[in-house]
Amino acid sequence: MTTGKQTIWRLVQSCAKKLIDMGNTPFTRSDLIKCVRRKNPRYEENSINPIIQGITDNLRGGAPGAVGKYILHSVGRGLFVLRNGVPRKRAQARATTASNTEQKDELGLLRAIEGEYLTIGKYHFHKICDIRPEQDNSGRILELLPQDRYNNKDNLPLNKYGAGPFCKFKIPNNYNFPDVYALVISGSTKYIGECENLSSRYNMGYGNISPRNCYAGGQETNCRINNLILKVAKSGATISLWFLETEDYKAIEANLRSSETPEWNRV
């Protein structure tokens, strides 16, 4: 269908269509680059990258060329869909998913400061955000099987919770202090934990299951909690995350776990 000179952006566009035809959407930057290079090996990855950036409507910079930013839409780091196939509704839905929760950070903190709190034991927890797993084009929660991406050269078995499926979510990045946190489902406290850096714990732990963690020796707890969150999210229940900033987080967490015995905590 494309006519004229096969510039990089034209090749990227036709590759995107091809990947969608193969049922591969959203597709990765690597998928696109491999496809373009198959069509024309003369183009180097370093040349294709900024073109992809340039024709993606929600990425800044890059080399837009003649066509403008009307070809691709980024739906996550390194993940794209064809922009023509992105209904406005979906873009709005995406605005409520994890990747953009930072926009709501300040609001979250504001609520905390203004006094929206939850009492667990004798402690007042402040709300951070609701947890909303990433969704696909149709608004369905994305179910991921990251274990397939692990190069299991040692033939390790999956750990007890490694089969998944898993979801992906993020919380705001500015909760970088020690605290006790609570996962609350529809008003009921399901899990209490502690950490030195909440944002890191969630965004690089519970919210994003790495392939290695699905196997023996990986972080089983991350797999287990993520899978529970996925199940709850699919049921339509609201999942919210609450925190108590404290230097005494280990003692308070232990105390609350024994007094509250949340369903998702193990002994």
- The residues of the shown chain that bind DNA, judged by CB under 7 A, are 5, 7-9, 28-30, 43-44, 46-47, 49-54, 59-63, 65-67, 74, 77-78, 146, 149-151, 160, 178, 193-197, 200-201, 203-205, 208, 210-213, 217-221, 224, 250, 254, 265-267
Nearest distance in Å: CB 149, DNA: 5
CB atoms within 10 A of CB 179: 25
Nearest distance in Å: CB 86, DNA: 16
The one-letter code for the residue type at 72 is: L
Strand (E) or helix (H) holding 115: none
Nearest distance in Å: CB 99, DNA: 8
Q: In what order do the strands lie in the sheet with 72-76?
A: 27-28, 79-82, 72-76
- Please report, for the chain, how many H helices and E strands are present, in that order: 8, 8
Of residues 66 and 115, the one with the C-beta less far from DNA: 66
Asked if 170 and 202 touch (Cβ cutoff 8 Å), the reply is yes
Of residues 102 and 111, the one with the C-beta less far from DNA: 102
Of residues 8 and 81, the one with the C-beta less far from DNA: 8
Nearest distance in Å: CB 203, DNA: 6
- Both tokens of 163, joined, read 């089969």
Nearest distance in Å: CB 134, DNA: 12
- Both tokens of 59, joined, read 């990425």
Angle at 102 between CA 97 and CA 107, to 5 degrees: 105
Peptide bond into 133 cis (omega under 30): no
Of residues 227 and 265, the one with the C-beta less far from DNA: 265
Of residues 46 and 119, the one with the C-beta less far from DNA: 46
Nearest distance in Å: CB 153, DNA: 8
Closest CA to 52 of 23, 31, 24, 21: 31
Of residues 111 and 221, the one with the C-beta less far from DNA: 221
